[in-house]
Amino acid sequence: MKITEGYMPFHDYQTYFRIVGEAKKNAAPLILLHGGPGSSHNYFEMLDDLAQEGFRLVMYDQLGCGQSSAPDQPELWQAQTWLDELTELRSYLHLDHVHLLGQSFGGMLALMYLLEKKPQGVQSLILSSTLSSAKLWASEQHRLIKYLPQAEQEAIVVAEKTGNYSEPAYLAANAHYMALHAAAPVTKDSPEPLKRAKINGEQSYMTAWGPNEYTPTGTLRNYEYTDRLAEIKIPTLITNGTDDLCTPLIAKTMYDHLSNAQWKLFQNSRHMPFVEHHDEYINLLSSWLTEH
C-alpha cells in the first residue's frame, strides 16, 4: 500500500499531510477532515483499508495539532484559518475532484467550506458524527448529562457556573461522560493509531470551541448552518452512533434539511463508528464512493 507523507507551506507554518493508496480508474480521492478542533489525523488511519479497495485517501493534521505547526497564537483559532488551509491543500496537491468526509468538527469545517467557499469539484459529502448547529449540539449534550449519576451532574453544573473546570469531581464526571458518548479509554489493546502518542491542540480547541463538548464559548459558538443545508445539492451520507455525542436528533436534523441525503445509524456505537463497527463502516464507504 503506497503511503506518501509531506508538509505543505501554509502562511508562515507547515501543514502535515498523508496520502494513502492509488485511485482506480481515475476515481476522485477522499479528503478526511478530522475533529477537535485540535485532534489529529491519527484515528483516520483506521480507514486505510479503503486503499486496499482502490480508493485514495488524503488526510492531514489541521494547523494547531498533530505534526502540523501549533503556534501560540490564539487569534488563529477561528473558522477562516482552517477554511483557508483546506482551500490551499486542494490547490497544493492538485485535488480538482474530491469526496469530502468530515468527522465531528471536521464535518463543521466541511459544511462551512461548501456553504461559504462554494468550491468546485466536490462530488459527494460524508458527515460523520457531526453537527449543523452549536446550539442544538449544546442542548443535546446537556440532555445526555441528565443520565449521569446525580453527583456527576452537580459537578458539571458547578463547573459551568463558576468557570472552574479543574476540580477533580468535574474532571471525573466529564471523563465518564466522554467514555459513554465519545470513545472508550485507550488501552494497550486499542488499535495502534488510537494509542500512538500525538500532540493535541489544546489551545485551538479551547479558543475555538470551549472547555468541553457541552459548553461552546469560543469562536465557533455562533456556528449555525441548519437553515442553509438545503443549499447543498451534492449526494450526502450522514453517519452516527446511537450513543454518540452526535445524537440521533442532531443527525436527523441534518438529514431533514438536506435535499439529497442518506443516513446510517450505527447501533451501540459512540463518536467513532469507523472504529467500533470498523468492517461495516469500511463496506459502507466503499459502496458510497463506488456509487458516487
The 10s digit of each residue's pLDDT in 47-60 is: 999 999 899 999 99
Average pLDDT across the chain, whole number: 97
pLDDT value, residue 198: 85
Of residues 104, 128, 204, 269, which has the active-site annotation? 104
pLDDT at 93 over 90: yes
Catalytic residue check, 244 = yes
Per CATH, the architecture of 3-134+189-291 is what? 3-Layer(aba) Sandwich (3.40)
Residue 197's pLDDT band, with cuts at 50, 70 and 90, is: confident
Q: 104 pLDDT exceeds 90?
A: yes
Task: Please state, in angstroms and as integers, the Cα–Cα distance from residue 180 to each residue in 106, 136, 139, 209, 259, following that order.
Answer: 21, 19, 17, 20, 32
Under the banding of pLDDT at 50, 70 and 90, the label for residue 25 is confident
Q: Note if 104 is an active site residue.
A: yes
Please check the confidence at residue 2 and state whether its pLDDT lies above 80.
Answer: yes
Alpha carbons 214 and 111: distance in angstroms, whole number: 20
Name the burial class of residue 173, with classes exposed (0-12), middle (13-18) and buried (19+) by CB atoms within 10 angstroms of its CB: buried
Catalytic residue selected from 99, 257, 271, 277? 271
Note the pLDDT tens digit of each residue in 38-47: 999 999 999 9
**pLDDT band for position 249 (50/70/90)?**
very high
Predicted confidence at residue 145, as pLDDT, reads: 99
Among 244, 257, 269, 277, which one carries the catalytic annotation? Answer: 244
The residue extents of the domains of the chain are 3-134+189-291
Q: Over range 194-206, report the average pLDDT.
A: 92
Q: Residues 145-178: pLDDT tens digits?
A: 999 999 999 999 999 999 999 999 999 999 999 9
